[in-house]
Amino acid sequence: MHDLLNSLAAAWQLILSGDSTLVAIVSLSLSISLTAVVLASVLGLPLGAALAVLRFPGQNAAIVVVNALMGLPPVVAGLFVYLLLSRSGPLGSLGLLFTPTAMVIAQVVLVTPIIAAIARQMLEDLWREYGELYILDGVGRVRTVCSLLWLGRFSLLTAALAGLGRAAAEVGAILIVGGNIAGVTRTMTTAIALETSRGDLGLALGLGIILLSLILAINATAQFVRNTSRRMAAI
Amino acid sequence: MTELVRSLAAFLLVLVASAAVAQEPFITVASTTSTEESGLFGYLLPAFTKETGIQVRVVAVGTGQALKIGERGDCDVVFVHDRTA
């Protein structure tokens, strides 16, 4: 109990001090995770749509693989991206290892399956419900998918939030590809891992409380947007 | 602390020839968490940067991983002290 109170105090002091290092760490965390979620949506939505609406051999296997990749351990994704971006790896000449870009790539690998899998499930349900109407109306496949995506936009927002949660909370992947370099690739989660290993549990939990509050704030905003647009749609 | 100072003598300094030309003036050093915790870099690096104008990015990991990073050409300098690894 004493430790928890100390952590709360540590978190509060950190916020009040407006420490420039803390601000840099928080903004790096948010920009990496948000960029990763946007890119993962760009990749994951068409992938989910293709799996839901198209019919091709090996489709079931593809769906199983995408669903399974939702459980990909971050440290494995990190190792995979590390081997790709390493100087000895296939993309080594880009020199991206130990940069924020490498961290975004690793998180895109983690988040894309989540968004693709949820989008596929949602589109498949909608397709079963409304698909015949679109076919009767002679609407093309691409326009049908766009229309279904719009119909299911609130579920997709939940998918994006799930992806953001995974991106913002994970440490295994970005630790390996980012290197936790102070001032360059140190994020909230890698800083928490570092402070824990140093034994500064109060500071670690304090950082954790700040991270949780930020994720809570993002989710509250999303909920607000959802409610507002639902109300607008009802009018 | 004395043990750390003693182990400093055992430091291996390995320069890894990096094929790519750095675009920004910085080098990457792979080292161990205990080396960073000892405060050695906090003392050395500002002096180095002041002298050369080159920033130093320290990746603090285990000795085995640091050597691997060097072996794969992912850093410019390796600073380790565990003889068994």
**Mean pLDDT taken over chain A:** 90
Query: Is pLDDT of B12 > 80?
Result: no
B74–A87 C-beta distance less than 8 A = yes
- The answer, yes or no, to whether residue A34 has pLDDT greater than 70, is yes
Considering CB atoms only, which of B28, B33, B74 is closest to A86?
A: B74
Instruction: Kindly give, in sequence order, each residue whose CB lies less than 8 Å from that of residue A26, ignoring residues fewer than 6 positions away.
Output: A188, A210, A214
Contact predicate A156/A119, CB 8 Å: yes
Helix A153-169 vs helix A188-198: angle between axes, to the nearest 10 degrees? Answer: 30
Q: How confident is the model at residue A164 (pLDDT cuts 50, 70, 90)?
A: very high
Q: Which residue has the higher pLDDT, A206 or A234?
A: A206
Tell whether A191 lies on the interface with B, counting CB pairs under 8 A. Answer: no
Contact residues of B toward A, CB < 8 A: 18-20, 23, 28, 33, 37, 57-61, 72-74
Nearest CA in chain A to B37: A198
Q: Tell me the mean pLDDT in the region A163-190.
A: 94
What are the chain B neighbours of A182 within 8 Å (beta carbons)? 58
Distance from CA of A85 to the nearest CA of B (A): 9
Does the complex come out with an ipTM higher than 0.90? no
For chain A, give the percent of residues with pLDDT over 70.
99
Q: Picking from A44-58, A199-213, B51-65, which range would have the lowest pLDDT averaged per residue? A: A199-213
pLDDT in tens, A105-120: 999 999 999 999 999 9
What is residue B16's predicted lDDT score, i.e. its pLDDT?
31
Q: Which residues contact A33 (CB under 8 A, 6 or more apart)?
A: A107, A164, A167, A168
| Per-residue confidence band for A31, with pLDDT thresholds at 50, 70 and 90 | very high
Residue B62 has pLDDT above 80, yes or no: yes
Proportion of chain B above pLDDT 90, given as a percent: 44
Query: Per-residue confidence at B3, pLDDT binned at 50, 70, 90?
Result: low
pLDDT of B75: 93
CA distances from A93 to A14, A99, A157, A177, B22 (A): 39, 14, 36, 15, 11
Worst-scoring range by mean pLDDT, A128-132, A173-177, B44-48, B57-61? Answer: A128-132
The confidence band for A66, taking pLDDT boundaries of 50, 70 and 90, is very high
- In this structure, what token pair is assigned to residue A146? 């766009």
